Amino acid sequence: MPTDTRLKTQPNLATARVKRGASTEAVHAGRAENYAYNALNVPVVQTATYTFKDTQDLCDFQEARMWGGARGRTEYGRYGNPTVSAVEAKLAALDHGEDAVLFSSGMNAVTTVLLAMLTSGTHVIIGDDCYRRTRQFCKTYLKKFGIETTVVPMGDFAALEAAIRPNTRLIVSESPTNPYLRVVDLVRLTEIAKRHGVKTLIDSTFASPINQCPLDFGIDLVLHSATKYLSGHNDLLAGVIVGKSGLIDSLRQALGVLGGVSDPHTASLLLRGLKTLALRVERQNQNALAVAQFLETHPKVKRVWYPALPSHPDYEIARAQMLGCGGVVSFEIDGALEETSRFVDAMEIPLIAPSLGGVESLIEQPALMSYYELSTEERLAVGIKDNLVRFALGVEDTADLLADLAQALDVIDENADKR
């Protein structure tokens, strides 16, 4: 198996992508010159409010804030925290943005963007492969505010352009998507959006900044569920939006009103996880590619979805704009719901859980995890087959993961023989 899973990139992107290596940025970006007590790590500033020396100190702060010169200083915890600010600086550097704003969850991040950028009478376009809760929020909650939503098929740029109206303000997509790892042509998306004066938001959670930086392609805002790869240890909830400073400033103001702030302890855990981001993602890229290649040749697997495989519909797009395809592999077992469940139960290393991006491998049968309440017909209508498995690879040894897959797939054959 090859150990270098980095995909080829367009020559003009290879030199423009980073000034320093991603692992160096993950460790050092956003670091201040000195911390209290000469601490190596960013202190956890555990406070809900901030004090002023005297009235003049307060008035000086208020004047500076009025003219945009009070960054790094605030009066109340909902409007900022030094530990949180350190995370935001690091995440902005990793995603090649001017600024970033941290939220209490990825869902809070996307809903804040939508509420901040859309008003009654405006229109948003989202891909049909977007996270189901994002689609739910757009189609139900935004509707209550007089905001219309159009859902377009993933990768259908003719449908996308036809859906744009004079009141369209935002196009929302994921890349790669969940669970089929579809990859959006970011260059083409940006060209269409800019021609019509529409802002773009890409959920890049499945890629992480190590594998893809959508801002390099002209995307306006990048979203991550920091719960996943950025944290890497399945022990916190957080979300982040990265982009140009003007847009981020407006989102930070909205965050102060809507209140979905991240606390300093969560920010500290996230800072610690980010230092190993590049190392973890490199290993997860390797594990996922090896697993995808193994599964594609196995007789008990009908189809594998992983963008680094030539069989994937977006293989060429992934080669052009990604340095790796991440740690999630989706595949279809050659069997029905019951056979697929037996396979999942037979796996010994991964735990059954609905998340991804952590050091532990996780596995799920989407039909029984996120879509349990739907009938088979309803699941098929939204593209979720009963025999679909999503395998989120961790950092375990590749050989152990492949051996575990082999024995679990043999369980399907053993049960077939008994019938």
The pLDDT of residue 31 = 82
The pLDDT of residue 414 = 67
**Active site (annotated) includes residue 78:** yes
The pLDDT of residue 410 = 95
Of the chain, the percentage scoring pLDDT greater than 90 comes to: 79
Q: Are 334 and 301 in contact (CB under 8 A)?
A: yes
Catalytic annotation, pick one of 90, 131, 385, 390: 131
The pLDDT of residue 416 = 56
**Active site (annotated) includes residue 165:** no
| Per-residue pLDDT tens digits for 162-180 | 999 999 999 999 999 999 9
Helix (H, G, I), strand (E, B) or coil at 390: strand
The answer to whether the pTM exceeds 0.85 is yes
Name the residue among 358, 346, 353 with its Cα closest to residue 393. 358
Q: Which residue intervals of the chain bear CATH 3.40.640.10?
A: 11-274
In one letter, which amino acid is 367?
Answer: A
Q: How far apart, in whole angstroms, are the C-alpha atoms of residue 411 and residue 70?
A: 63
Name the residue among 136, 91, 8, 50 with its Cα closest to residue 274. 91
Helix (H, G, I), strand (E, B) or coil at 402: helix
Q: How far apart, in whole angstroms, are the C-alpha atoms of residue 103 and residue 187?
A: 28
| Per-residue pLDDT tens digits for 50-88 | 999 999 999 999 998 887 666 678 899 999 999 999 999
**Active site (annotated) includes residue 228:** yes
* Second-level CATH architecture of 11-274: 3-Layer(aba) Sandwich (3.40)
DSSP 128-172: TTS-HHHHHIIIIIHHHTT-EEEEE-TT-HHHHHHH--TTEEEEE
> Buried b vs exposed e over 48-87: b needs ≥16 C-beta within 10 Å?
eebeeeeeeeeeebeeeeeeeebeeebbebbbbbbbbbbb
**Active site (annotated) includes residue 195:** no
Q: How far apart, in whole angstroms, are the C-alpha atoms of residue 264 and residue 274?
A: 15
Catalytic annotation, pick one of 31, 73, 78, 300: 78
The pLDDT of residue 372 = 77
Q: Which residue intervals of the chain bear CATH 3.90.1150.10?
A: 278-418
Q: CB count, 10 Å around CB of 332? A: 17
Residues of the chain with pLDDT under 50: 1-18
Q: How far apart, in whole angstroms, are the C-alpha atoms of residue 124 and residue 170?
A: 5
Under CATH, which number does the domain 278-418 receive? 3.90.1150.10
Catalytic annotation, pick one of 203, 220, 314, 404: 203
Helix (H, G, I), strand (E, B) or coil at 331: strand
